[in-house]
Amino acid sequence: MEKLDLTLNINHKPFDVRISPNDTLLEVLRDHLDLTGSKESCGEGVCGSCTVQLDGKPVRSCLTLALEAEGAIIRTVEGLADGDTLSPLQESFVNHGAVQCGFCTPGMLMTADALLKENPDPDEDTIRKALSGNICRCTGYAKIVEAVAHTAHPQDQCPDCASGIKSCCKAKE
């Protein structure tokens, strides 16, 4: 099968790749570019662990051909932190114990990041709905929801967290 050359714009950097038409965006990220943050779990659109952003919207990279992503602004979990400085959302995931095995985390982060761009201070229902396409087998979701809700209320500003109660003020409202 013919190989094709294309340039993908990932985390604001151009990447030249030589691909086959049947390569998914996820395969190109992981196998060609060593951007292994995005995970493959089901491979058929169900779990959300492969979620990346295309032009700011969360999509399944396992069901997106690399060719279809040409020309789009692609953002992966590797693009969230600024060097060693985590994004406020990532920081909140760490502080709220929202990561256990971590396999769902990149997808959760990319979905939640897209939500927070649209609505920086969402309520619990909105968060649960936005994350409803991402499956987590470890945390039971409560801590993930708290972490997202808490992104706009960092620990030092939160009376509960400051007094040592780890559960989030916002998610419980």
Partner 1 sequence: MRLPQFNYTGPDTLEKALDLLAAHGQDAKILAGGTDLLVRMKKGLLAPKMLISLKALKDLSYIQQDKDAIRIGARTSLADIIASGPVQKEAAALSTACEKIGAATIQHFRGTLGGNILQDNRCFHYNQSAFHRSGRQACHKDGGKICYARDESDRCNSTCQSDGAVALMALDARLVLASKGHERTVAIADFYTTDGILPFAMEPTELLKEIIIPIQGAASAYQRLAYRSAIDYPIVCAGVLLKADTGKKDTIGEARIVVGAMARSPLFLAKESAELKGKSFTDTQAFQKAGNGAMNSASTFAVHNVGATLEYRCAMVAEMVVRALNEAAGSGKN
Ligand X SMILES: Cc1cc2nc3c(=O)[nH]c(=O)nc-3n(C[C@H](O)[C@H](O)[C@H](O)COP(=O)(O)OP(=O)(O)OC[C@H]3O[C@@H](n4cnc5c(N)ncnc54)[C@H](O)[C@@H]3O)c2cc1C
47 Cα distance to chain centroid: 13
The residue written with tokens 């030249």 in the block is: 16
- For position 158 contacting partner 1 by CB under 8 A, the verdict is no
Residue 20 engages partner 1 in binding (rule: CB under 8 A): yes
**Contact flag: residue 119 with partner 1 (CB under 8 A):** no
Q: What residues have CB less than 8 Å from 17, skipping those under 6 apart?
A: 5, 6, 7, 8, 28, 32, 33, 66
Does 37 engage in binding with partner 1 (CB under 8 A)?
no
Least distance (Å) from partner 1 to the CB of residue 23?
A: 8
- Distances 3 to 27, 52, 67, 74 between C-alpha atoms, Å: 15, 24, 11, 21
Residue 104 contact among ligand X, partner 1, ligand FES, none, beta carbon within 5 to 8 Å by kind: ligand FES
* Site residues, partner 1 (CB under 8 A): 1-2, 4, 20-24, 27, 43-46, 48, 51, 54, 57-60, 62-65, 67-68, 111, 129-130, 132-135
